[in-house]
Amino acid sequence: MKKEAGQVKSNILIIAFICILTGFLFFFLGVSYNISIIERLIIAGISLALFIYYARKGLSQFFLFAIAGIIIFIGLSIAFGSPFNPGEFSDQKLTPFRIDIVLGAWSTFIIALLFSFVILYAYKKMRYYDKYPLLLFIVYLVFWVLIAINAKYYDDWKAENYLTIPFLVIIYLTHRWFRLSKLSYSLIFLFMILHVTGSHYTYSAVPLGEWMQNFFNLGRNHYDRLVHFSFGLLLAYPMREIFKRIADAKGFWGFWIPIELVLALSCVFELIEWGFLVAFGGDVGIEYLGMQGDIWDAQKDMLLAGIGSIIAMIATSLLIIYYDRKAFFKEFWESFRVKSDKLLGEVALERLIRKKEK
């Protein structure tokens, strides 16, 4: 009975997630395209039916289908949703990746749908043991190419990708030695999508941020704040997985260390941004920094990243408590127990000296 009740709750959560996903798609169609509400309902309805169908096939197939379709749909909308309009800074080069094509909602939807079917077909036919992250990587590369087309500020697009490419190389080089879970790879993928989207427009001019600014009556475009918040929200769990499996961080430390690392990396990134501004200056440096006149921009970005990581770790702990409350609290309190009575500092140094003298 408990197992059946748990399965029912899981199905309800999946259906709720699918409905929310479909609602976002319906909303996005209304904001990005001038089409009738009937057309929006038809596209959203087809998507809903396919989401439910593939969710019944398995979560891996559902996530691949949904991620591939939605991400490529967004990429096509960004690259070809409107006529090319170069950036306002005259000293920046126009992008060499320019294609003067405008796609409507239906054309974009059909191309994205076909791409999703291709990805799912590859998932079913491939025998490679790491096929899920590999296919995510392929979807990301396609999106990255789309985002490069008709970029508003070519110089800023290059600057934003100076850190993107090394990060991807590191993930690729380490994936055989340390394979992350599908969830962690998916979270990293989503964060990278948010990051490179900003490189197409510059962070201070992303349409989603402009919509948020107008809808919530904000004083500036907050897309960069959204990305910094997502850095903590989406990457704290992969960091937790690394510390749990390599450093054997248990209990409280398995939740606290990812938060600390998010805050530390946020600080490092802000220092990199500062160094970039000093090195390059001009409009490129200003757009890369994205301060928009806020002298406390760096501090607010770090704060949001920290809040995102705290939310992620609270959600993770609540999920573990729900399924195994007794084991969670036992490990949590044991993590504060002193594991070794040997002092460090000057005592450890004296031991090393004596050992060397023997």
Complete DSSP assignment for 301-355: HHHHHHHHHHHHHHHHHHHHHHHHHHHHHHHHHHTTS-------THHHHHHHHHH
Mean pLDDT, range 137-155, rounded to an integer: 87
| Res 150 pLDDT > 90 | no
Stated pTM of the model? 0.87
Say if 135 falls within a structural domain. no
189 pLDDT tier (thresholds 50, 70, 90): very high
Predicted local confidence at residue 318, as pLDDT: 94
As a whole number, the mean pLDDT across the chain is 85
Say if 167 falls within a structural domain. no
Say if 20 falls within a structural domain. no
Give the Cα separation of 149 and 77 in Å (integer). Answer: 11
Say if 169 falls within a structural domain. no
Say if 276 falls within a structural domain. yes
Say if 286 falls within a structural domain. yes
Say if 44 falls within a structural domain. no
Mean pLDDT, range 200-220, rounded to an integer: 84
| Res 282 pLDDT > 50 | yes
The larger pLDDT score, comparing residue 231 to residue 159, is at 231
Residues of the domain holding 294: 202-336
Q: What is the pLDDT of residues 244-255, one digit of tens each?
A: 999 889 999 999
Predicted local confidence at residue 175, as pLDDT: 77
Q: Of 36-40, 78-82, 172-176, 238-242, give the lowest mean pLDDT range.
A: 172-176
Predicted local confidence at residue 88, as pLDDT: 55
Mean pLDDT, range 257-275, rounded to an integer: 89
Asked if residues 153 and 89 have their Cβ atoms less than 8 Å apart, the reply is yes
Say if 78 falls within a structural domain. no
Mean pLDDT, range 283-288, rounded to an integer: 52
Specify the DSSP class assigned to residue 81: S
Tokens of 105: 């909602």
Top mean pLDDT of 26-40, 91-105, 207-221 is at: 26-40
The larger pLDDT score, comparing residue 78 to residue 220, is at 78
How many domains does the chain fold into? 1
Which amino acid is residue 43, in one-letter code? I
Spatial CB neighbours of 232, under 8 Å, sequence gap ≥ 6: 259, 262, 266, 304, 305, 306, 307, 308, 309, 310, 311, 312
Q: What is the pLDDT of residues 109-135, one digit of tens each?
A: 999 999 999 999 999 988 877 788 889
Percent of the chain with pLDDT over 70: 90
Mean pLDDT, range 170-196, rounded to an integer: 88
Q: What is the pLDDT of residues 11-25, one digit of tens each?
A: 788 888 899 999 999
